[in-house]
Amino acid sequence: MSSATDTSTDAIAGDGIVRAADGTPLKRSLARALRREKLRSFLLIAPLLAFVVISFLMPIADMLFRSVENNIVEDTIPETVQTLASWDADSGDLPDERVYAALFQDLQIAVEQRIHTRLGSRLNYEKSGMSGLFRKTGREVRRMEAEGPFKERFIEIDEDWADIEVWAVIKRYSPPYTPGYFLNAVDAELTAEGVEMKPENERIYLMLFWRTLVMSLMITLSCLLLGYPIGYLLSHLPARSANLLMILVLLPFWTSLLVRTSAWKVLLQQQGVINDFLVWINLIDDAGRLVMINNQTGTIIAMTHILLPFMILPLYSVMQTISPSYVRAAKSLGASDWTAFWRVYFPQTVPGIGAGAILVFILAIGYYITPELVGGTSGIFISNRIAYHISTSLNWGLAAALGTILLLLVMALFYVYDRIVGIDNVKLG
């Protein structure tokens, strides 16, 4: 701002150049001030930018990288990978003695470092039985003498070493980058004939993605059905009563997610409050208690409750701005209540519906906690599968690939949201 005082006393010298008070040309002086201002705002932003990049963006990038990274094969058995390069899997012959000798060398080192079992589990994702094969071979290889013929010796340990498919899998997954995890994530696999879909009974992820989308859509629709009347009521009430009723919307919004999920877990149980009440009013008998939890119903009810405020708030803010004179004008021209609502009022609320629906949908497809707790097995989402692969099956590559697909989906939806609402218009509370 210091330049502001300088430029206030412009003077035009004899050469026609406008100058600031200190004699520098005004243009240069202004440019310097602008540069300084840019630098200052950048210095203010820089710490957070660096922080978010390191603590958030780099982890995401790491995950994206892991979904294709496949160094493990080359790192564990480098000689084998090299000698295997000249072998043609389609020839119908087993690799020659050199490959087996290289495998012996590599495994000697790998067993010493105890990393051969990790390679086994990695290859097991592509062909079952590989984990056991490497474990068994690792045990035997230590006792093996360092002279040939290695081919016979390996086949003696396990006849799988005489299986061309085993070698084909090792060769196929030896490059440092692989599409294998992504193919697994969409129920496909890399075979000798190229990319193929897995057999029907092994396909789970496409079905899970589809279920996640369908259930998120149902949650979005029920949020819209319940949220629209509330938004309408709040925007048509006097400000004082609207503010009071708003508390009923904001309190759930501010209440911990775990608290709301536990409430539903308690309410929906077979021995829970809702079933007790229905039995008490004789709507159902004691034997016919409803199963509302650990299935899709539980997930949809609980998540509709949790995400409803995210639908009501944008709807309300749009409906507030709609002038009542349009509906009055329609009615004065002879429209019935329904026509005035449907043809005049409703179209004006579409931006609010769009904003709320996309927001709820984006939040729903990434949900983990609620489906995990009230979804049982039939009500879980793709997120639950990602969590399973990270913490239980330890197939991080597949978890990363599933996560990447989900992330792309959310990004695409968010792009649409940004187009409709604008990212700067996100309002809180």
Partner 1 sequence: MSSPLPPYASTLQVTWFYAFRIICGLIFFFLIFPILVIVPLSFNAQDFFTFTPEMLRFDPAGYSLKHYVDFFTNPDWQQALYNSVTIAPAATILATVLGTLAAIGLSQAHVPYKSAIMAILISPMIVPLIISAAGMYFFYSRLGLQGTYIGVVLAHAALGTPFVIITVTATLVGFDRSLVRAAASMGADPVTTFFKVQMPLIMPGVISGALFAFITSFDEVVVVLFLGSASQKTLPWQMFIGLREQISPTILAVASVMVALSIVLLFTLEMLRRRSERLRGLSPG
Q: Which of residues 130-169 bind partner 1 (CB under 8 A)?
A: none
Query: d(Cα 324, Cα 225) in Å, to the nearest integer?
Result: 22
In Å, how far are 43, 85, 427 from 234, measured between CA atoms? 44, 70, 18
Task: Give the per-residue contact string, 234-273, with partner 1 (x = CB under 8 A; - = no).
Answer: --xxx------x-xxxxxx-xxxxxxxxxxxxxx-x-xxx
Residues 286-325 that bind partner 1 (CB under 8 A): 305, 308-309, 324
Stretch that binds partner 1, among 95-103, 230-238, 286-294, 342-350 (CB under 8 A): 230-238
In the complex with partner 1, the residue whose CB is nearer, 138 or 231, is 231
Q: Which of 18, 44, 155, 175 binds partner 1 (CB under 8 A)?
A: 44
Query: Shortest Cβ distance from residue 23 to partner 1 (Å)?
Result: 22
Query: Shortest Cβ distance from residue 21 to partner 1 (Å)?
Result: 15
Q: Which of 17, 60, 192, 284 binds partner 1 (CB under 8 A)?
A: 60
Query: d(Cα 121, Cα 123) in Å, to the nearest integer?
Result: 5
Q: What does the angle CA 391 – CA 395 – CA 397 come to, to the nearest 5 degrees?
A: 120
Residues 86-125 that bind partner 1 (CB under 8 A): none
Residues 332-391 that bind partner 1 (CB under 8 A): 337, 362, 365-369, 372-373, 383, 386-387, 390-391
- Asked if residue 22 binds partner 1 (CB under 8 A), the reply is no
Q: Which of 27, 38, 135, 139 binds partner 1 (CB under 8 A)?
A: 38
What b/e sequence results for 154-165 when a residue is b if at least 16 CB atoms lie within 10 Å of its CB, and e otherwise? bbebbebbebbe
Residue 174, Cα to own-chain centre: how many angstroms? 28
Q: What does the angle CA 280 – CA 283 – CA 285 come to, to the nearest 5 degrees?
A: 70
Q: What ranges make up the beta strands (E) of 9-56?
A: 11-12, 18-19
Stretch that binds partner 1, among 23-31, 76-84, 194-202, 395-403 (CB under 8 A): 395-403
In the complex with partner 1, the residue whose CB is nearer, 12 or 44, is 44
Nearest to 405 by CA among 256, 189, 208, 112: 208
Residues 396-415 that bind partner 1 (CB under 8 A): 396, 399-400, 403, 406-407, 410-411, 414
> 222: helix, coil or strand?
helix
In the complex with partner 1, the residue whose CB is nearer, 155 or 390, is 390
Positive/negative CA dihedral, 378, 382, 388, 389: positive
For residue 181, give the DSSP letter: H
Query: Shortest Cβ distance from residue 296 to partner 1 (Å)?
Result: 18
